[in-house]
Amino acid sequence: MLVKVIDQITDDELHKAAWELYERALGEMRALAVQRHLMYQSEFDEVMLDRRVEKYLCYDDEGTLCGFATLSNDLYSMSLISPEYFERRWPELYRQRRIWYAGFVAVDRDRRSSRALLDLMEAMYRTASSQNGIIALDFCRYNDAKRNMGRATERILNRFAGGTMHAERMDEEQFWAYEFRAAA
């Protein structure tokens, strides 16, 4: 596996491969989470050209794209988060741009047993840890409760950090439905 970090995807063939991988790997989330966790293609296209967002591309030994992630320390480049939250919570790290947000991490379904996810996570870890920074990301309830993504990510990153990492849940949002049934 090889991980490359680039600031833009301008090549049409790579852009198409990245979009298709994104959809294959994460598309099911469209129906599993209340809040939208996936970009529409027009938004994806914009992010691929946004130099503020680093693109982490994981290639297998044959040179095929098998994993893909985004990471940025310009929190205004990430839609649906509040940079002001991070500024209030970690003012010094925010001012020094040592807070990174992972927009998504996607590994092709048939490569989930490979090292692709670990290699992507390690590359992002190295970016933030080299500056004593923070990586923030979100999981929907399904991924956290059913797939245990929060704890699994914590274990993996703590292993990379040699047991020195601290993890905390920053926030939690709940979506409620109030159904009004016809009187019997």
Yes or no: say if 170 and 89 are a contact pair by the CB < 8 Å rule.
yes
Average model confidence (pLDDT) across the chain: 91
Segment 9-28 shows an average pLDDT of 95
Q: What's the rounded mean pLDDT across residues 53-69?
A: 95
Of residues 134 and 150, more confidence is placed in 134
What residues contact 89, with CB distance under 8 A and at least 6 apart? 170
Which domains, and CATH codes, for the chain?
Answer: 2-160 (3.40.630.30)
> What is the model's pLDDT at position 113?
64
Task: Report, as an integer, the average pLDDT of 148-168.
Answer: 87
Of residues 28 and 110, more confidence is placed in 28
Reported pTM: 0.89
Looking at residue 78, its pLDDT comes to: 92
The per-residue pLDDT for range 68-115, each reduced to its tens digit, is 999 999 999 998 899 999 999 999 999 999 999 999 999 998 766 679
Question: Is the separation of the CB atoms in 88 and 119 below 8 Å?
Answer: no
Tell me the C-alpha distance between 41 and 29, whole Å. Answer: 15
> DSSP assignment of the chain, as one string?
-EEEEES----HHHHHHHHHHHHHHHGGGGGT-SS--S--HHHHHHHHH-TTSEEEEEE-TTS-EEEEEEEES-GGGSTTS-HHHHHHHSHHHHHTT-EEEEEEEEE-GGGTTSSHHHHHHHHHHHHHHTTT-EEE----HIIIIIT-HHHHHHHHHHHHTTT-----------------PPP-
